[in-house]
Structure 1
């Protein structure tokens, strides 16, 4: 199964509104066309759909994403209005992914840039994992480990330790896909049962400079997306594609 991850669209109600480096609506349209040409089986959007938290921004996102010739799903990020987003299209806790299980988590902490799952959601995650031992991919907006940019790492998942404590009991969890970082990233968390790979992908809007101490836009980088080929027996291949604008 071919899964493609896109993230951090940061759309405005006005499709001609500019970000720091371009037109988010135009860039999303270009990314969607490139993604569709790669013939995915499903597309996952890992949060920050809207920048201005407007109904029109979610409607615009739905119009663009519905041009895909495959099912697509989304989760909220710290910039999103969950009520408006959910009114436009359902936010699902789980997605069918062939031989894999895909769990979607909401890490939004209302009013904050940082993310949090909370004790109730962590307990529910453990219960869900106990139900099924198929190879599992978890999608969330905030990265559950450091990505190497000090300012982003200060805005990650505040209860990451609790998240990894839950996963430590479930070796079927193979990988985490996250948004929020606006750059290609791969990290590894070593647990008692083995490793969990953590991936992020480029934004469809502005790119952040990897390894920066303070906020910085990567002016040389292009929008993009991550391709994940999910195979039997918990194996996979993944890579990042960039899109010319």
Structure 2
């Protein structure tokens, strides 16, 4: 079973609108073409699909992602309008992938760049985790731990401690996938659960930077996850523009 993560597209209503290092729509097209060549069984987009929160930007994303020969799913990021996203394509709370579960968490706080799961969603997550012991991935936009960039770490998950408390004792949680940080990243939570960040399809952020810095040398990319039995193998692919 092959799952591919795509994130942080930052599309505008105008497909020719630029980001800092390129054209987001064109870059998403290149990324999706590269993803398709790896023949995934499912694709997950972990937020910040839009930059301008317009229905047209989500329609563009759906048009490009619709070229995939597999199911695809998305969740909102801090830049997104969840209502418009859901009108374009409904959200899914979980995915069943050949013996694996993927639980999708909404961490958006309206009007804020930082994220939060919140008490109600944490309670629901606890119930879902207790509902089975299949190998499980959690997917969210905001990273639930520091990534080593001071400015990004101020914009992470504000209730990260409560999130990790919720996961305690659930050994079937194999990894957490996040967007938001626009870079490849591997870290571990308090109980050793791996946390994987993913390159953006738009601009890349410089790892370890104290202040906002675009990494002009890095290319857009995506994360591949191969799930076999209870084992997970993952790596990042970059895309030539």
Shift in Å at residue 96 of structure 1? Answer: 1.4
* 1:97-145 Cα deviation digits (max 9, x unpaired): 1111100000000000000011111011001111111010000000000
Which residue of 1 is the match for residue 207 of structure 2?
A: 210
Which residue of 1 is the match for residue 235 of structure 2?
A: 239
Pairing of 1:1-245 with structure 2 (within 5 A): 1-191=1-191, 195-233=192-230, 235-245=231-241
Where does structure 1 lack aligned partners over 5 or more consecutive residues?
none
- In structure 2, how many angstroms separate the alpha carbons of the residues matched to 1:226 and 1:117? 23
Ranges of 4+ aligned residues in structure 1 off by more than 3 Å: none
TM-score by length of 1: 0.97
* 1:32-74 Cα deviation digits (max 9, x unpaired): 0000001000000000000000000000000000000110000
Shift in Å at residue 9 of structure 1? Answer: 0.1
- In structure 2, how many angstroms separate the alpha carbons of the residues matched to 1:180 and 1:130? 28
- In structure 1, how many angstroms separate the alpha carbons of the residues matched to 2:228 and 2:164? 24
* 1:220-244 Cα deviation digits (max 9, x unpaired): 00000000001112x1110000000
Where does structure 2 lack aligned partners over 5 or more consecutive residues?
none
Q: How many residues matched?
A: 241
- In structure 1, how many angstroms separate the alpha carbons of the residues matched to 2:97 and 2:148? 30
TM-score by length of 2: 0.99
Shift in Å at residue 190 of structure 1? Answer: 3.3
- In structure 1, how many angstroms separate the alpha carbons of the residues matched to 2:151 and 2:232? 31
* 1:75-94 Cα deviation digits (max 9, x unpaired): 00000000000000011100
Give the conservation status (yes or no) of the 8 Å contact 2:164–2:190: no
- In structure 1, how many angstroms separate the alpha carbons of the residues matched to 2:196 and 2:3? 13
- In structure 1, how many angstroms separate the alpha carbons of the residues matched to 2:189 and 2:117? 18
Q: What SS class does the counterpart of residue 151 from structure 1 fall into?
A: helix
Give the conservation status (yes or no) of the 8 Å contact 1:99–1:231: no
